[in-house]
Amino acid sequence: MNTANFKEILESSWCYAGGFLDAGRVSSYIATLAAADASHLGCAVMTNEGDCYKLGHCDVLFSMQSISKVISLMYALKILGRDAVFAKVGMEPTGDPYNCIIKLETAGEKPFNPFINAGAITVISLLAENALFRDVLAFCGMVFGEDVHVDEDIFAQEMQAGKRNRSMAYLMSSKGALGEDVEAYLNFYFCLCSVKVNAAHLAHMGAVLACGGKSPITGKEIVPDWIIPITKAIMLTCGMYDGSGEFAVSVGLPAKSGIGGGIVAAAGGMGIGTFGPSLDIKGNSVGGIRFLQYLSENTGISMFKNQ
């Protein structure tokens, strides 16, 4: 596909997606999310050569929220290895909401996967015991292609509002599935959720995933290549909350969303980042999903498309 045609499809995808923003609503979990502009839609695509195409509100900063779970998983695998990480958390989808607490009581000690909140807190506990937060933040900068920072106001709101996550963490600790320093784990978890990014950062992240763990700009290794298939597989099966199966069918890309309105996706030769704070009932960006659906249908980037 030539560059002119690709740009035209991107613009058409963005225009198409913009027509669905009224179908969702912004998250009300914390005040900053509730104050987001539901009409915003930003989309960015970065090729494996480092070229970046931007549309709409792609430079607006927002908290990455659950997209941080991809960061924590990759960094934990990088410093601790596969066996140590998956001894504590599973790899299976749940079909339940991301903040469901029921199966922690009924389905054994180990959370189902690293992308539900209980699983993410478990992975974070491993990081908190083996790394400094500044090291993880530096890793974020490499993955996003630019230094990023924690929004202290959002962090304070998360600490105050995160009662359900706190309940999960203490329940897991009481069952021996989590260590004793629960407040330190939660502090680490909420800090990472509160890191601010934009759609272009997410496109760079997606390109790192699409390039086997290497920077699309410099070619330098950021993540060892063995980590990438594991990460993308869990993104495909668990990355869009309890809408992951439908997303796999309609878009066919490994992706991860967050209630801040972001989605990061990795295609065969490019990374895609979207920002649209208008969310569906499952917590996924309405505009982001529609953009990715249109783009997938009109470019054939789905990993399930017949070759």
CATH topology of domain 68-192: Beta-lactamase (3.40.710)
Q: How far apart are CA 14 and CA 290, in angstroms?
A: 8
3-state secondary structure of 172: helix
CA nearest to 154, candidates 187, 194, 117: 194
The share of the chain scoring above pLDDT 90, in percent, equals: 84
| 154-169 residue pLDDT tens | 999 999 998 988 998 9
Amino acid type, 143 = V
CA nearest to 303, candidates 209, 215, 223: 209
What is the mean predicted confidence (pLDDT) over 282-305?
95
- Does position 100 have pLDDT exceeding 70, yes or no? no
Q: Cβ of 180: how many Cβ atoms within 10 Å?
A: 9
Strands (E), the chain: 42-47, 52-56, 62-63, 196-197, 255-257, 262-266, 270-275
Homologous superfamily (CATH) for 16-64+196-298: DD-peptidase/beta-lactamase superfamily (3.40.710.10)
Q: Give Cα 198 to chain centroid, integer Å.
A: 12
The share of the chain scoring above pLDDT 70, in percent, equals: 94
By CB atoms closer than 10 A (0-12, 13-18, 19+), residue 217 is middle
| 113-137 residue pLDDT tens | 999 999 999 999 999 999 999 999 9
Q: Record the tokens describing residue 115, joined without a space.
A: 């992308």
DSSP class of residue 201 equals H
Q: Record the tokens describing residue 122, joined without a space.
A: 């478990």
3-state secondary structure of 52: strand
Give the N- to C-terminal CA distance of the chain in Å, as an integer.
15
- Looking at the chain, the domain(s) classified CATH 3.40.710.10 span 16-64+196-298, 68-192
Q: Say what the pLDDT of residue 109 is.
A: 67
CA nearest to 128, candidates 183, 74, 86: 183
